[in-house]
């Protein structure tokens, strides 16, 4: 078997089949560089096989719920921040441009942000921001983040103790969530989690409280996981028993998080606006390495079984990717 681990970076296609993930992070309005500090979701198949980048995670018991597929693989760098800094996560679909659609217009749903020490432990993810259905037909994913260039804003908690942390941000598509995934794997809520590595500086003393685990934070019995989104987007409503209110899944936002987070002016983008063409992909835990000249002319170099290996101690990222 061809050895593919470790990876320096998981590579992507700029194919129109791709789904949403974080392409960049602004700190106090200054772009830190495309893909810098971000644990990029794995590519899910070659274009001619009908695959696409960042396939949604739907199995609530999967380790992929933590930081997406291959989320245990570190980015080669970490973003330095301070308590109170404003972080803007720049979500995109096909390219890091203002014309990109960010997420499919049908993918209405909530968006959440958690923070955890790096590496995560049991019950270490603490929710610091959320937004769901804020008026009839208006959802966080499609009417707020997508309509605002893919920008999701949060502030580093005040007084947070210095150290290494993971920010776990996610968007959720509810367009097929009227049925639970465990009952019908063809449907179910679609989760797009993505993790960003940060190092908090300063002399803060605030420690995170106990939080939730991923997987484990959500269940198929949660009202925010199984929900007919068309009850709050369609007129007339699809059934007479529609629920037009929505309960965001997971815990409540931590009292130590900032009560409000507003958008700020952003610098120009530092780095590429398109993704590197794919050279690896993963399907059913099999990682394949390939070379290609066109989307249909592919030379497979080898494959290996992938098993997530989350360390219990902090590992300093290797900037060379070796």
CA max distance for the chain = 58
How much is the average pLDDT of 210-223? Answer: 97
**High-pLDDT (> 70) share of the chain, %:** 90
How much is the average pLDDT of 178-186? Answer: 96
User: Is the model's pLDDT at 5 over the cut of 80?
Assistant: no
How much is the average pLDDT of 173-179? Answer: 96
Q: How far is CA 240 from the centre of its chain?
A: 34
What pLDDT is attached to residue 246?
97
What pLDDT is attached to residue 240?
82
Contact present, 31 and 62 (Cβ < 8 Å): no
Q: How far apart are CA 28 and CA 83, in angstroms?
A: 11
How much is the average pLDDT of 48-58? Answer: 68
Predicted confidence band of residue 43 (pLDDT cuts 50, 70, 90): confident
Reference 234, options 102, 139, 141; nearest CA is: 139
Phi, psi at 114, each rounded to 5°? -120, 160
Give tens-digit pLDDT for 126-157. Answer: 999 999 999 999 999 999 999 999 999 999 99
Give tens-digit pLDDT for 294-314. Answer: 667 778 899 999 999 999 999
Neighbours of 69 (CB within 10 A): 26
User: Is the model's pLDDT at 78 over the cut of 70?
Assistant: yes
Q: How far apart are CA 80 and CA 249, in angstroms?
A: 30
pTM metric for this prediction: 0.92
Any idea which fold 21-270 has? Coagulation Factor XIII; Chain A, domain 1 (2.70.50)
Output the CA angle 212-53-41, nearest 5 degrees.
35
What pLDDT is attached to residue 291?
81
3-state secondary structure 103-136: CCCCCCCCEEEEEEECCCCCCCEEEEEEECEEEC
């Amino acid at each position: 078997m061809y050895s593919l681990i470790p990876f320096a970076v998981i590579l992507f296609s700029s194919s129109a089949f791709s789904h949403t993930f974080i392409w960049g992070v602004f700190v106090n309005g200054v772009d830190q560089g495309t893909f810098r500090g971000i644990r990029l979701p794995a590519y899910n198949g070659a274009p001619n096989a009908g695959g696409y980048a960042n396939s949604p995670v739907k199995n609530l018991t999967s380790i992929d719920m933590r930081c997406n597929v291959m989320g245990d693989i570190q980015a080669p760098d970490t973003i330095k921040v301070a308590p109170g800094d404003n972080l803007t996560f720049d979500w995109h679909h096909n390219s890091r441009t203002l014309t990109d659609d960010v997420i499919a217009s049908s993918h209405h749903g909530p968006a959440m942000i958690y923070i955890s020490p790096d590496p995560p432990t049991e019950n270490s993810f603490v929710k610091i921001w959320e937004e769901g259905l804020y008026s009839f037909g208006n959802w966080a994913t499609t009417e707020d983040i997508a309509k605002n260039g893919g920008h999701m804003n949060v502030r580093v908690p005040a007084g947070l103790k210095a150290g290494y942390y993971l920010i776990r941000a996610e968007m959720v598509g509810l367009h097929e969530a009227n049925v639970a995934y465990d009952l019908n794997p063809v449907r179910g809520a679609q989760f797009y989690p993505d993790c960003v590595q940060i190092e908090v500086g300063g002399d803060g003393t605030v420690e995170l409280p106990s939080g939730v685990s991923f997987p484990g934070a959500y269940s198929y019995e949660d009202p925010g996981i199984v929900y007919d989104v068309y009850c709050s987007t369609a007129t007339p409503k699809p059934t007479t028993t529609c629920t037009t209110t929505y309960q965001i899944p997971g815990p409540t936002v931590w009292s130590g998080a900032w009560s409000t987070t507003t958008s700020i002016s952003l610098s120009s983008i530092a780095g590429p606006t398109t993704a590197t063409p794919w050279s690896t992909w993963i399907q059913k835990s099999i990682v394949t390495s390939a070379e290609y000249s066109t989307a249909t002319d592919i030379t497979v170099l080898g494959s290996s079984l992938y098993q997530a290996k989350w360390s219990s101690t902090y590992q300093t990222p290797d900037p060379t990717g070796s």
